[in-house]
A and B are shown apart, each in its own frame.
Chain A
Amino acid sequence: MSAIPSAGMPKPATLPKVTEQTLGNGLRVVAARRAGVPLVNVMIRIPTAGKPLSRVRSRMLEGSMMLGTTTRDAVHLAGDLQVLGSELSVHADTDRIVLSGVTLANGLPGFLEITADVALNAAYPSREVVGEKERVRSDLAYMRSRPGAKADEAMSRRLFGDHPYGAPLPADSALDKVSASLLRRLHAERVVPKGATVIIVGDLSPTQLIGEVDEAFAGWRGEPEGSPIRRAKVRTPSGLELVDRPGSVQTVLMLSGPAVPPGHEDEPALALANMIFGGYFSSRLVANIRERNGYTYSPRSQIHQRAAASFLTVQADVATGVTAPALLEMQYELGRIASLPVTDAELDSAKAYLIGTSAIALSTQAGVTAALTRLAAFGLPWTHVRDHGRAVAKVTAAQVRAAASRYLAPTALTAVAVGDAGLVRHDVAAIYPLD
């Protein structure tokens, strides 16, 4: 018993057959069938990136939209959803407002009626909005006390400056300016069907699914003030911004720089370069600063693709006492992947992982719904999943190196550290220029 069984290259993911239709009010409906569990998943994506919403406004919209409609208060809304075995939640950021939910299949008509009630008739009752404001205030206080969120705040400002992406943690003074009447106006302007997409995946025929959406949302009207999305420039000022957090037993190290959106010609090679560098457990970053050196628990490198910009972030939360050595190793691994070709074994492993995990993700209704929403968000055809898998399979080590030298080189990234400055400043400054 000595031969380790081989696994072969995983088969690429396949989406179920997608059917789409644009309704009279401009609402685009995208439907697919996935059997297995008696559920239906729904996502309604309303783009806002053409006229980006500030973080504080999107956060307040998100938290207040389900506080009541013209006919249901928050408690009735919640109760009516439960009766159908449904969940519905609202998520909003600079780029989009999403109403997403899941329901027992036999509760679909009722679920869509409630969702439409929220989309068309959200009331933003004054007393409830005041309550939500206080909850958001608490939430912001909590985020400010988390070192990872502090790092994200500093890095966002560094990368994006005055663009709404640059301010993920608004000040309390910005929160004070949001009122129920402002939210009602924002809702009337932004929560409109033209330009929006409904993704619906369930154990029913696509025709049936589209028909249900059409019936529920027939009364929805409105056009956005659209403008094309203005790309946000990703800046990478040289130097490291050290944010003092006295008493921290760890330093959050963060390195970020530009990346590319889905569909870009560099994207498959960059996805693989990032994976090999730090995108999964079997990466160089993990092998070095976690498994060899024990500096950290979950180092990672992730690509973020947003409507107006794409960027990548390398992050490690390391023991205070090894801040400089850890940063040095991160720089070393960046330099190494940017300068030298990766091995065939590393390349094959990363390809298999990307292809295999894509297939795993598409094995559930929720996964199919998320994948279709992402494709809709970036205006990509349904064949993109298959095409992307094929493109990934063909990437060469030379292409990975070209992508790495462009996007993962030490000089391509800017740096932030959040930790006990008194303890770490001197050692960090010896290996990395501070701001």
Chain B
Amino acid sequence: MKTTTSFAIHRELLSNGLRVVVSPDPSAPVVGVAVVYDVGFRSEPQNRTGFAHLFEHLMFQGSEHLGKMEHAQRVNGAGGVLNGSTHPDFTNYYEVLPSTALDLALFLEADRMRAPALDQDCLDNQCAVVKEEINVNVRNAPYGGFPWIALPAVLFDGWATSHDGYGSFEDLEQATVEDCKDFFQHYYAPANAVLVVSGDVEVDEAMRLVHKHFDSIKKRPAPKRPSFAEPVPTTVRHRVHTDPMAPEPALALGYRVPDPIKAKPDYFAAVMLTEILTAGDASRLVERLVLTEQAATSVQGYMGPFGDPFEMRDPTWLTLEVHYPHSTDTTKLIALIDEELVRLAEGGVTEIEIARVRTALDAGWFSRMDQLVERTLQLGQLELIHGRAELVNEIPLLLRAVSAADVQAAAQRLVNSGRALLEWQAGAAQ
């Protein structure tokens, strides 16, 4: 039995600064192509909330050689799937297609990296689409934006991390074509991106095609990335919000965690801590709150706004999200959570407990990396954020290296720090 995966990684740097990662895997006749740009909603201008995400939409609206829906049509018509997403620290774009379509995929990504269309009609149209995206996911849904939009607003003071990355309708409507062109010039330089080619490819042929399509994109400087660092809170920041659509209450606790790049061992300890606390029925908080006390309906714990522990730079956070019935007293619920956190901080974890969580994490990682879309995107973001695509194979080993003492230390750091406490009250008529 293998101790971890051994996905091959080949790395090159083009003269225009584009980082290229090629990861062959001949087991199925499919290829994944992704471009990860080093700009996310933390970097958008302060009077343009939601801009990075709106811009992501515009990258699908045509480019020098392609009409408005043509990128998607060509991928779909080749038998492939595509999408993109905007995160706090990057924006990714991908397609997965039959291996015969690699040349096409690289052409498509190069064409929009070189010259996306960016015109007023598309801007107006996608502004309307983004508003409906916000409506369906946030404004017309119970628990909309809870806690991924609402919790950072409580935990952080710096605008970059605390603001709403989906954006306000007012700000979205203010976006101009000039804003788009500036944003593109500034942030979408090849030197500010990682290109991933994975799946049924050979390195030589993949690189030949990469050079063919991307060499002609002129070099321009990558922007200097500002630091978004801010002090860790030392107090409890308590906020109460009433959601008119939510039928039952919920609670989100936010804790700052160590720097995922500069303090890797401590960060990985925090990742393990999250699993020990919340992964499955045998975890500390699920067992106590859901099964034993029957005080909560569900408990989840995860890193950052979207739950991928390896996608964020500092500052980042751990979220504990608890949904509970009206019959549970909120203060008692918080006391139960604190009791379990302190119990772990003072008593530590057993070797058996940490061993089974390690194994579960391994299996989960292998399962996810079996999916070509996931693996392609992870390769790109690990290279971009951590400078090391090889982490795709190494993460299980790093997690296994976390000791029981490390987890206990992480719990102690948690318990002794400030936190955000967001009460989400049920406003829907019963």
Contacts and interface: CB of A to CB of B under 8 A. Distances in A.
Nearest to B130: A297
Contacts of A5: 103-104, 107
Contacts of A10: 78-79, 97-98, 100-101
Interface residues of A, number: 83
A242 B24 CA distance: 53
Interface stretch (B40-48, B150-158, B336-344, B355-363): B355-363
Interface residues of B, number: 82
A39 interface: yes
Contacts of A373: none
A348 B364 CA distance: 38
B205 to A, nearest CB: 13
A214 to B, nearest CB: 22
B141 interface: yes
Q: Which of A247, A290, A293 has the most CB of B within 10 A?
A: A290
Nearest to A275: B76
B222 interface: no
Contact of B30 (A8, A74, A363): A363
Interface stretch (B178-186, B233-241, B367-375): B367-375
Contact of B291 (A131, A142, A248, A249): A131
B363 A87 contact: yes
A360 B372 contact: yes
Contacts of B287: 75
Interface stretch (A52-60, A101-109, A113-121): A101-109
B173 interface: no
A7 B98 contact: yes
Given A102-B363, A319-B135, A353-B76, A146 B98 contact: no
A282 interface: yes
B366 to A, nearest CB: 5
Contacts of A282: 69, 72-73, 76-77
B418 interface: no
A87 B356 CA distance: 12
Contact of B79 (A137, A293, A359): A359
Contact of B247 (A84, A142, A353, A355): A142
Contacts, number: 234
Given A104-B362, A135-B297, A357-B81, A75 B281 contact: yes
Contacts of B140: 147, 248-250, 317
A360 B96 contact: yes
A75 B279 CA distance: 12
Interface string A217-248: 00000000000000000000000000000011
A349 B73 contact: yes
Interface string B42-84: 0000000000000000000000011011001110111111100
A281 B104 CA distance: 18
Interface in B377-400: none
A1 B370 CA distance: 35
Interface stretch (A30-38, A374-382, A407-415): A30-38
Interface string B204-231: 0000000001001000000000000000
Nearest to A283: B76
A79 interface: yes
Contact of B125 (A103, A142, A292, A318): A292
A21 interface: no
A296 B140 CA distance: 13
A280 B73 CA distance: 10
B27 interface: yes
Given A250-B135, A356-B97, A359-B30, A297 B129 contact: yes
Interface of A: 1-2, 4-11, 35-39, 66, 74-79, 81-87, 102-107, 128, 130-131, 134-135, 137-139, 141-142, 144-147, 247-250, 280-282, 287, 290-298, 317-319, 348-349, 352-353, 355-357, 359-360, 362-366
Interface of B: 1-2, 5, 25, 27-30, 65-66, 68-69, 72-74, 76-82, 96-98, 100-101, 103-104, 107, 124-133, 135-136, 139-142, 213, 216, 244-248, 279-283, 287, 290-291, 294, 297-298, 323, 325, 352, 355-357, 359-360, 362-364, 366-367, 369-372, 428
